[in-house]
Structure 1
Amino acid sequence: MIVSPESTASKTEAERSSRFKPGQSGNPAGKAKGTRNRATLALEVLLDGQAEILTQKAIDLALTGDIAALRLCLDRILPARKDRPVSFEMQPITTAADAKEASAALLVAVSTGNLTPSEAAEIGKLVDGYVKSIEITEVLARLDRLEGTKA
């Protein structure tokens, strides 16, 4: 069979027209909510009814000294703590100027060991957000007063 350059060119044009267009999804609706991974579903079917037996086996292995099984069991019993409640002295913040005292209280809490630096950083973010909301409220109140005097 002899292939002419014209037929090759038309094939590539036809192929291009059937491919996805730029900016257009092949599945505009996306994956349905709640759709679960096939592999996960298959594993659940295989393990159905075996969870209790497997759990007991892991415990037995851990008790005989299997380090991996022990780590697995301990991770399930006492998972790594992601966050903890913290308590320290800090004056209430009612104006943007109070943020200075709040920051000083955070530094003292870190220096005395009552807070870790990362905990203080997270609380500092909360203080910053609160101060910004106070500043915006004050600016809006000034703007309202200015517009009221011009009207």
Structure 2
Amino acid sequence: MTDETPDSLIPYDEIVQEALRAVVGRVLGQVASTGGSLPGNHHFYITFKTQAPGVDIPAHLKTRFPDEMTIVLQNKFWDLNVGEDHFSVGLTFNQVPAILMIPFAAITAFVDPAVDFGLQFQASVEDMEPELHDEAENDSPDGDSPIATSEDGSNVVTVDFGRKK
């Protein structure tokens, strides 16, 4: 018996990533189906790769955030629409309204601090690590930390399948 794990012929990492991203889609879909109102104190921090295929955000945001940005869905958002592989939402940035379209595959983190729940994803199978932000970038009235940590026993699920070299 050797210490090396054999290469899997089943893409488990991709299957798990896809299933966990479906959780984000389902949660956002439930919010969209209620007219965009969040129940209780729930609110979401969503981090995504700005250069990922299918991301459609204003040019000034891509310039300001050339790799990754975090948005907040809490009080000031509108037109939340959820598709099979993406969502779109209206947000304000420095009092300027914008519509963002974000594929689920571009998301690197999803956090609901109200219930200490979070998911972190690989942006692609190319071993990209999400850059954690201290603050979300759209207009948010509170100062909650956007990324929860699991060291305190929270419900953060980190999925990190490293590629064999």
Tell me if TM exceeds 0.5: no
TM-score range, shorter chain: under 0.3
* Structure ranking higher on relative contact order (CA contacts 8 Å, 6+ apart): 2
TM-score (norm 1): 0.21
Instruction: Return the structure number with greater strand share.
Output: 2
More helix by share: 1
